[in-house]
C-alpha cells in the first residue's frame, strides 16, 4: 500500500490491482481535517480494503462525504462497500448517476460487456441506499467550500470538484502518467464520444482558473490551465489525424491509427519508455479512445 502526502491535508492512495500494468494508475484522493475526511473516488470494490487500511493509517475515524467524479467501476465501484464501514458518509454524484448507484445491475452488466475480465478484476459494485446520496452538489465542509461542475465528455455523468486552487478532475482532461522523461498525457474518449461536449467541459474547468490539477489517473500537476489547454489540443489533434487518414483513403484499422498517433503526438513521446506491462495497458486504452473518435466521425 502506498500513501502519498501531497499537502498537509491532502493524500493520494494507490489502489493497485493484482494484474500486470495496474500499479500507480487507479487511486483515491483524501482530504483530511482532524480525524474526519472527504474521499474523492474510492476506487473499485476489489481495492476497498486497501483504502480502508490507508484511512486507518492516516488516522481517519469518520468520512463525511464521498465525492464521485463519475461512476465507472475503477472510480466508484467500491462506494457501496466503503459506506458499510462509514455509514454516516454522504455521497455526492451527478444526478444521472443516482439510479445506477442504487441499482448497479445494469452498470455491472454493461461494464462486463465492454471490459470483460477487466471489469471482473475491478469487482461487482454493491448498491447504495438513496438516503446516503446528497442532493446538494456544492458542499461546505469545515473551512472549505467545494464546488462541483458538470463536465460531461468522458462520461455523461462526469463531475469535477473545485476546492481552493485545486481541481479534482477525474478524467475530464484525460490521463497523466508520471515519467522519468516528459510526462505522458493522453485523452480518455471511450464510446460514445462527442468532442464538442468534451471540449466545452474542459473550457468550463479552465474558466475557473485552478492552479493545480488532481487527475483520476494519476497524480497532481501544477499549471492546471496549461494542462487543460493541452487536453483540448490533443483531442483535436487525434481527430485531425483520423480525419486525414479518411480523406487520403488510408487504412482505418484501429491498430494502424494507433501507430500514426504514437508517431506524431509529442505528448506520447514517453510511451516507449514505459514498462512493458504499462505499455500494454495503455495500448488497450488508447485503442478504446480511438474507437470513441471513430464512432463520432462515422456517425
Give the pLDDT score at 250: 92
Q: Which of 142, 161, 181 is the last residue of a domain?
A: 142
> Model's pTM, two decimal places?
0.96
C-alpha cell at 119: 471489469
Is pLDDT of 96 > 90?
A: yes
Q: What is the mean pLDDT of the chain?
A: 96
User: Looking at residue 299, what is its pLDDT?
Assistant: 86
Whether 92 and 48 share a structural domain = yes
Q: Is residue 163 assigned to a domain? A: no
Q: Return the ∠ at Cα 30 (arms to 29 and 32), rounded to 5°.
A: 160
| CATH code of the domain containing 70 | 3.60.15.10
Do 174 and 252 sit in the same domain of this protein?
Answer: yes
The predicted pLDDT at position 181 comes to 73
**Rounded to the nearest 5°, which phi and psi values hold at 187?**
-70, 160
pLDDT of 73 strictly over 80:
yes
Position 212 confidence tier, pLDDT thresholds 50, 70, 90: very high
Backbone torsions φ then ψ of 100, nearest 5 degrees: -70, -25
Q: Which of 30-39, 90-99, 134-143, 157-166 has the lowest mean pLDDT?
A: 134-143
Print the domain residue range for 207.
Answer: 170-211+223-299
pLDDT tens across 151-173, in order? Answer: 999 999 999 999 999 999 999 99
Q: Which helix (H) or strand (E) holds 22?
A: none
Q: Is the predicted pLDDT of residue 80 greater than 90, yes or no?
A: yes
Residue 253 has pLDDT above 90, yes or no: yes
- pLDDT, residue 138, reads 93
The per-type count for the chain, helices as H runs and strands as E runs, is 10, 14
d(C-alpha 77, C-alpha 73), whole Å: 4
Residue 227, domain member (yes or no): yes
> Quick one: which of 50, 6, 17, 62 has its CA closest to 215?
6
Which triple of cell numbers denotes residue 250? 488510408
For residue 136, what pLDDT is reported? Answer: 87
Average pLDDT over residues 14-41: 96
**Radius of gyration for the alpha carbons in the chain, expressed in angstroms and rounded:** 19
185, HSE (Cβ side, Cα atoms, 13 Å):
23
pLDDT tens-digit series, residues 44-69: 999 999 999 999 999 999 999 999 99
Cell of 221: 500537476
Q: Which helix (H) or strand (E) holds 88?
A: none
156-180 residues labelled b (16+ CB within 10 A) or e (exposed) = ebbbbbbbeebbbbbbbbbbbbeee
pLDDT at 54: 98
pLDDT at residue number 37: 98
pLDDT number for residue 77: 97
What region does 166 belong to: left with phi over 0, alpha with psi -120 to 50, or beta?
Answer: beta
Q: Is 268 left (phi over 0), alpha (psi -120 to 50) or beta?
A: alpha
Confirm whether 152 is domain-assigned: no
Residue 183: predicted pLDDT: 85
Q: Do 133 and 175 belong together in one domain? A: no
Question: Does pLDDT of 294 surpass 90?
Answer: yes
In this structure, the number of other CB atoms found within 10 A of the CB of residue 245 comes to 16
pLDDT band at 210 (very low <50, low <70, confident <90, very high): very high
Domain-located, residue 218: no
Give the pLDDT of residue 41: 98
Signed CA dihedral, 230, 278, 238, 179: sign only: positive
Residue 158 placed within a domain = no
135: pLDDT confidence band, cut at 50, 70 and 90?
confident
Instruction: Let me know whether 174 and 297 are in one domain.
Output: yes
The answer on pLDDT for 43 being more than 80 is yes
pLDDT at 4 > cutoff 80: yes
The answer to whether 30 and 58 are in contact (CB under 8 A) is yes
The per-residue pLDDT for range 114-129, each reduced to its tens digit, is 999 999 999 999 999 9
Decide the pairing of beta strands 144-150 and 139-141.
Answer: antiparallel
Domains of the chain: total:
2
- Integer Cα distance of 40 and 30 in angstroms: 6
Residues 228 and 286 in one domain: yes
> How wide is the angle at C-alpha 135 spanned by C-alphas 81 and 15, nearest 5°?
30
Q: What is the largest CA-CA distance in the chain?
A: 61
C-beta atoms surrounding 8 within 10 Å: 7
Amino acid at each position: 500500500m502506498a500513501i502519498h502526502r501531497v499537502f498537509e491535508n491532502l493524500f493520494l492512495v494507490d489502489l493497485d490491482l493484482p494484474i500486470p500494468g495496474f500499479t500507480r494508475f487507479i487511486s483515491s484522493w483524501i482530504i483530511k481535517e482532524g480525524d474526519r475526511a472527504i474521499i474523492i473516488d474510492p476506487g473499485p470494490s476489489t481495492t476497498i480494503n486497501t483504502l480502508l487500511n490507508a484511512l486507518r493509517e492516516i488516522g481517519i475515524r469518520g468520512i463525511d462525504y464521498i465525492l464521485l467524479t463519475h461512476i465507472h467501476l475503477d472510480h466508484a465501484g467500491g462506494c457501496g462497500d466503503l459506506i458499510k464501514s462509514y455509514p454516516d458518509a454522504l455521497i455526492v454524484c451527478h444526478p444521472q448517476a443516482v439510479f445506477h448507484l442504487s441499482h448497479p445491475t445494469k452498470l455491472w452488466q454493461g461494464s462486463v460487456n465492454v471490459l470483460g475480465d477487466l471489469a471482473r478484476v475491478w469487482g461487482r459494485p454493491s448498491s447504495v441506499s438513496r438516503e446516503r446520496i446528497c442532493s446538494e452538489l456544492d458542499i461546505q465542509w469545515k473551512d472549505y467550500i467545494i464546488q462541483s461542475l458538470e463536465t460531461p465528455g468522458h462520461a455523461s455523468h462526469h463531475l469535477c470538484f473545485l476546492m481552493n486552487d485545486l481541481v479534482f478532475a477525474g478524467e475530464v482532461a484525460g490521463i497523466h502518467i508520471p515519467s522519468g522523461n516528459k510526462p505522458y498525457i493522453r485523452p480518455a474518449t471511450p464510446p460514445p464520444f462527442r468532442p464538442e461536449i468534451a471540449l466545452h467541459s474542459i473550457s468550463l474547468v479552465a474558466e475557473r482558473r485552478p492552479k493545480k490539477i488532481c487527475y483520476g489517473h494519476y497524480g497532481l500537476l501544477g499549471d492546471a490551465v496549461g494542462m487543460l489547454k493541452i487536453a483540448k489540443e490533443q483531442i483535436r489533434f487525434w481527430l485531425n489525424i483520423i480525419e486525414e487518414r479518411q480523406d487520403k483513403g488510408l487504412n482505418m484499422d484501429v491498430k494502424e491509427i494507433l501507430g500514426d498517433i504514437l508517431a506524431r503526438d509529442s505528448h506520447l513521446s514517453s510511451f516507449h519508455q514505459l514498462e512493458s506491462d504499462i505499455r500494454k495497458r495503455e495500448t488497450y486504452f488508447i485503442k478504446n479512445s480511438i474507437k470513441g473518435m471513430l464512432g463520432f466521425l462515422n456517425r
